[in-house]
Amino acid sequence: MAHLGKRVVLIGTGFVGSSYAFALLNQGITEELVLIDVNQEKAEGDAMDLNHGLPFSPSPTKIWFGDYRDCENADLVVITAGANQKPEETRLDLVHKNMKIFESIVSEVMKSGFNGIFLVATNPVDVLTYATWKFSGLPHERVIGSGTILDTARFRYLLGQYFRVDARNVHAYIIGEHGDTELPVWSHADIGGKAVTEFIRERKQYKQEDLETIFANVRDAAYHIIERKGATYYGIAMGLARLTKAILQNENSVLTVSAYLNGEYGHADIYIGVPAIVNRGGIREIVELKLSEAEKEKFSHSATVLKNVLNPFFGNKAHPS
């Protein structure tokens, strides 16, 4: 890679982007943070505001409002720019608006000589991560989407609440599209090594139908939040900060991200949310869980929905690199 320090370039300083920048500063994750936005005054104001918090930060961070030339030496370019999801709108409804925006952004980044890792958060994230890979020509392991990292966090939080256990001790994944066709992997959900299904069997106060409600609340969480406050941003910002830390600190952490499948889970040529090992090189490998037959069917349905959305844009065109 071109640069051995820790430089993150953030493209898009809206609700998600500015919350992410704030999380990075609070946790002292990166040495340099560059903010880029079409609304230059907003990005400049954010840089000023964040810099005023530096005396309270755990480690020094150089923060400035910049432009695409700053991407040349970036380790990570994080894209949160794009049209937001409106009430009653699905994430997939956003695809036409955001595809054009992304083609322009990615080409500008690549013109700088960027040779790091892309992290995509804009919705529909699985579709736009695939688009970023196509537009950039980078190896697929160096293009990552936030995928179901937030859905998995929501899932763990709600299961922790239900079973009265710290969410950090709940091990459970949401996989598939970050959207309406995602699915819970109940066959691998456990608390401290004990299967959630065992808790249900052994204790009368827990019921199977409650688990179905928990998943519905995970899947529809964004709609509930958008209805109340217009957008979701704190949760995903924390998820992006977690991913950034895993990459920059070479953690080899297992996180549910939008990753490129090349035969894993029976699918290929698609970006979709699955557990993957993330490190300084991007996605080291996909963690392929043994799914139940019902889970396999749901995952295939999710993959098919995403492929149908991508088809009009990319069809079976070869990867440009």
| Residues recognised as catalytic | 178
Structure tokens at 40: 């230059």
What one-letter code names the amino acid at 313? Answer: F
* CA separation for the pair 53, 240 (Å, rounded): 20
3-state secondary structure the chain: CCCCCCEEEEECCCHHHHHHHHHHHHHCCCCEEEEECCCHHHHHHHHHHHHCCHHHCCCCCEEEECCHHHHCCCCEEEECCCCCCCCCCCHHHHHHHHHHHHHHHHHHHHHCCCCCEEEECCCCHHHHHHHHHHHHCCCHHHEEECCCHHHHHHHHHHHHHHHCCCHHHEECCEEECCCCCCEECHHHCEECCEEHHHHHHHCCCCCHHHHHHHHHHHHCHHHHHHHHHCCCCHHHHHHHHHHHHHHHCCCCEEEEEEEEEECHHHCEEEEEEEEEEEECCEEEEECCCCCCHHHHHHHHHHHHHHHHHHHHHHCCCCCCC
The bridge status of strand 143-145 relative to strand 117-120 is parallel
CA distances to 7, 32, 227 from 4, rounded to whole Å, are: 9, 12, 43
